[in-house]
Structure 1
């Protein structure tokens, strides 16, 4: 194993959201939501820098007010991964850098999560990492919960909205199901390749962007965790997150 390459985290923060416009600016205990995400990610000692990537002047100005590093990016990116790539270029990150994509709507982010994502990169063969945790069979039925199956080395074999693996024999009914948690870290070279590729056939069928990587033979190392996370999708979710924030 070698030492870790330089590691950075970028938090994409768009203003437009169908269910919650202006979500990154939502007030939580007197501060905008993006501030809490930044503060928790920045506490990871393995990260050299954490930066917000936005497409909106209101978010940019608020980030400067709260002393959160921020870059302005194109408003027309098709995905958060493309926004992350542009931000990495603006920041002039090294080719050997690792970039963590931190979801901007998880103000109660576990401080250990960025570290879990970047630690595997001490192995030079690791190109992309993500997270998964065990769920029960009933939870695995939900197509909104993306499942993943792994190889013996911990690499993703497939992601699906379907319940995978399919249990054919009743005596194997206690097989674990793994819920994919959508946090990623990429070597910058892998991220650059990823964002340069068109949507792949399986990606379009499942509506899962990460399948583009597997179809391009870029492996994704899946790190197991107990982390559950809680994303703020709608204004009413703010009432649900406040008790968690007060307990942190």
Structure 2
């Protein structure tokens, strides 16, 4: 399909040192991520790294990587630089796949990109999966979203939204009541290249700072964010040593 995948990758990570180069299934994690992107059918896959060691790792495995500034505040800004360096067309569809998600299903990348490929008016898309229990809805580490009747995001929050005043709060494992349409946001995005450059020039927005969610920068400026709704959640990414062992077990 006519989209590309850019994978932002930082060598320094706060909770798990040098995590993108740690072994997963006999390969560096970032190479496993790159291979998931290749399997999506993308026309091009590039790792946008902040350190020459990551670039060398990918090139040693036959992949494409480039060096970007170490000073970017978020992965989206890193991708904006990478897209410029690559000379991608203004209307190119770019999927942002995090460098610590080696278990991301390739079909999910394709489905998210397809939202933009099939609607030229859209500038940005993301993905979500259903939330089924109160413990997940109440977890501030789980980002929630609300969609409108066109399937576009209305709001993202770390708080449990929408709040059902008749039933909430609930016991941790209680199933959520019917009809709430509770959705967990996945950190997977697709953009048009020109929009990506616009986004990188905008300052952080008030709600972006309050919620600590970079997608609010687009939403607060009236950008429609299409949402692909998957049936089941993909394996979680890697933030801690425990996450790493869990992901390694998936590849064993």
Normalised by the length of structure 2, the TM-score is 0.91
- 1:5-154 superposed matches below 5 A: 6-45=2-41, 47-121=42-116, 122-135=118-131, 136-154=133-151
Report the counterpart of residue 195 of structure 2 in structure 1: 190
- 1:162-241 superposed matches below 5 A: 162-170=159-167, 173-174=177-178, 175-225=180-230, 226-241=232-247
Q: Deviations over 1:55-84 (max 9, x none)?
A: 111111111111110000000001100101
Q: Deviations over 1:118-158 (max 9, x none)?
A: 11111112211101111123310111111000011100000
Q: Deviations over 1:78-133 (max 9, x none)?
A: 11001011111111101110110001111112121111111111111221110111
Q: How many residues align?
A: 241
- Separation (CA, whole Å) in 2 of partners of 1:245 and 1:56: 26
Gaps of 5+ in 1: none
**Which contiguous aligned blocks of 4+ residues in structure 1 show a shift greater than 3 angstroms?**
none
Normalised by the length of structure 1, the TM-score is 0.93
- Separation (CA, whole Å) in 2 of partners of 1:150 and 1:166: 14
- Separation (CA, whole Å) in 1 of partners of 2:160 and 2:212: 15
Find the residue that maps to 1:39 and give its secondary structure: helix
Tell me if structure 1 keeps the 8 A contact 2:144–2:160: yes
Worse-matched range after superposition: 230-239 or 83-92: 230-239
Gaps of 5+ in 2: 168-175
Matched, 1:159 2:165: no
- Separation (CA, whole Å) in 2 of partners of 1:219 and 1:166: 23
CA-based RMSD = 1.6
